[in-house]
Amino acid sequence: MRLHLSSQIVLNKVPEEFYRPRTAVERSEITRCEKVPTEIFAKVEEGAADIADEICKLVNQRSNEGRNCVLGLGTGKSLVPVYEELIARFEKKELSFSNVIVFNAYEYFPLNGGNEHSAMAQLHAMFLDKTDINPQNVYGPDGTVKQDDVQEQCRAYEQKIAECGGLDIVLLGIGRSGNIATNEPGSGLSSTSRLMLLDATSREEMTMSFSSQEPVPPCSITMGIATILAARKVFITAWGDEKAEVIQKMVEGQITDALPASFLQTHNDAHVVIDLAAAGKLTRIVHPWLVTSCKWTDKLVRSALVWLCLKTGKPILKLTNKDYNENGLSELLALYGSAYNANIKIFNDLQHTITGWPGGKPDADDTNRPERAKPFPKRVIVFSPHPDDDVISMGGTLRRLVQQGHEMHVAYETSGNIAVGDEEVTRFMHFINGFNQIFGDEKDEVIKSKYQEIKKFLAEKKEGDMDTRDILTIKGLIRRGEARTACTYNDVPLERVHFLDLPFYESGKIEKLPMGEADVEVVLELLRKVKPHQIYVAGDLADPHGTHRKCTDAVMAAIDVEKEAGAEWLKDCRIWMYRGAWAEWEIENIEMCVPMSPEELRAKRNSILKHSSQMESAPFLGNDERLFWQRSEDRNRGTAKLYDDLGLACYEAMEAFVEYKPL
């Protein structure tokens, strides 16, 4: 069973010469905008192996010379594939780490509870304890010391690095705010190891690796920028769409203390190693015509023309030959013969993505429509990772499908129970207790005892304490109730509302269990029961907690199983990916765009507002200060404005989709 198919989704097939140039001349041409040497790999495993090659080479070289190899290591999740590759080589006896000295790049501070959840403990668990590195050769800041002693500890830490001959290789990830180790924005070029206050973005990212329900400490003791730059070689790794923007700024942007990773542009042997997804905003990937000649696909032409429209401030049909020539797109003039021919081609392509019939228009010519007319009506399943992603991401389309007579099913993949605040539980428990007092004459002893038990737990609950299973159940019931209310508002019959409660989610913690075959079987059962003609699935895989990706992987794995089994229903099924909660589709990838009137947008907002526990008091709103309904409206209006700016129809808002074709 293939469980990670989402990682193989390639919306824009990137020619290999753009990320694996054949010659030094080709490399110098396509990387002209890049200020740090950057290696791009089609798969994470390939990138991890490339870094492991360099580390192994140096470790063995130092061993042959009778010298130690000194490594500075981080503990972010992006480093796990590299550590796994190094461990595999150690287990194959391809190298020994007996001559390796390790300096931990940072440590949480203060660690009042000791070292159990420290960064050093993470490094031991993910790498050190699985090799023959001598524990006496492992150094790192101590997060349990008194604050008055931190400065002296940092001085001793720097001195120890110097005594060991300096750092040979530093291996780090990069945070979404451009931090390396935990050098936050504002860190200076000359900064050495010191105490650092963590910003909200860093603490949110660290919750995924901080092996506890306790909150991430507010500070860290970190290896400084100057310390990192003094290393002989530096590797920065990043994988996935969510790191694409910060990688672009680091590699192609200006050097600034607002993005500490940009200081690596001054290093003479720094390397960025990333996958295609993380490279998605580099010029050679997203705007290759600016650095080299292109093999022009329809998507690439659409991307180029949209870029040209935004750059010139013109709609598509007003672009001229001069605009093409002055902005490096003369190749398209040669290809199409004139600006007009190219303009009309892309204008029509975009026009054909717009439809008010997301389920297909019956008895209509569907030659240029994104969805086929038959069968009609269709059986449709909307898979929603959390109990509100359906209305946040495609609430307008969902209502349109219901109104046009399709058999709508909504499948909520997880309970969403950890994303409910304790005050919501208190509010509902007060209601249940009051109901019992008024209508039950307090005869229900279960309600009375459970009320007192939960009330006592919440009163004594400390920050970081895990909820009891009873409280998680109540939080899940709250979200179920909200989802049912929203579905009723959208006229989805409750017998077609499915709560899948995928097992991977039920860890009770922010960090979830691995998604496995048990999760896929739950999805399979529903698919085989409904045999849908349309499936809608989450495509915004940059969800910071990873739930969307795991849910989408479960659906894709189930589809893959049915495809291998030759399921007849799948041959007449289309799968559409939506975004909206965390990102929006790039216009060159949009294959179906559903417009909304002001009234329909208001109805979508009302659907989202039915999920009252996810408003201001929701635990995981992220760094975006807007509520989910506000983010959704802004993105939908932004898509509509982009279509309008390009000279197409002007709508209040639009929801966009990309088709997924089973691999």
Catalytic residues: 184
State the DSSP code for 500.
-
Residues contacting 164, CB < 8 A, separation 6+? 68, 70, 101, 103
Q: CB–CB of 587/641 below 8 Å?
A: no
SS3 for 182-237, per residue? CECCCCCCCCCCEEEECCHHHHHHHCCCCCCCCCCCCEEEECCHHHHHCCCEEEEE
Taking each helix axis from N to C terminus, what angle separates 517-530 and 547-564, rounded to the nearest 10 degrees? 60
* CB of 515 closer than 8 Å to CB of 3: yes
Residues 370, 591 contacting (CB under 8 angstroms): yes
As a whole number of angstroms, the distance between CA 631 and CA 622 comes to 12
Element (H, E) at 69: strand 69-73
Count of beta carbons in the 10 Å neighbourhood of residue 560: 18
Concatenating the DSSP letter of every residue in 334-378 gives HHHSSHHHHHHHHHHHHHTTB-S-TT--TTS--TTSSS-S-SSSP
Chain centroid to Cα 489, Å, comes to 30
Tokens of 16: 């290999």
**Letter string b/e over residues 568-584, b meaning 16 or more CB atoms within 10 A of that residue's CB:** eebeebbbbbbbbbbbb
Q: State how beta strands 219-222 and 194-197 pair.
A: antiparallel
Let me know the angle formed at the C-alpha of 279 by 276 and 283, rounded to the nearest 5 degrees.
Answer: 125
Amino acid residing at 252: E
The rounded distance, in Å, linking the Cα atoms of 269 and 205 is 28
**C-alpha–C-alpha distance, residues 651 and 383, integer Å:** 27
Q: Please give the Cα distance from 168 to 462 (Å, whole number).
A: 43
Which residue type occupies 631?
Answer: R
Report how far residue 595's alpha carbon sits from residue 356's, in angstroms, rounded to the nearest whole number: 6
Q: Quick one: tokens of 107?
A: 């440590």
Helix 628-645 to helix 598-609 angle, to the nearest 10 degrees?
160
Q: What's the N-to-C CA distance of the chain in angstroms? A: 13
Q: Which of 216, 100, 219 is nearest to 169 (CA)?
A: 100
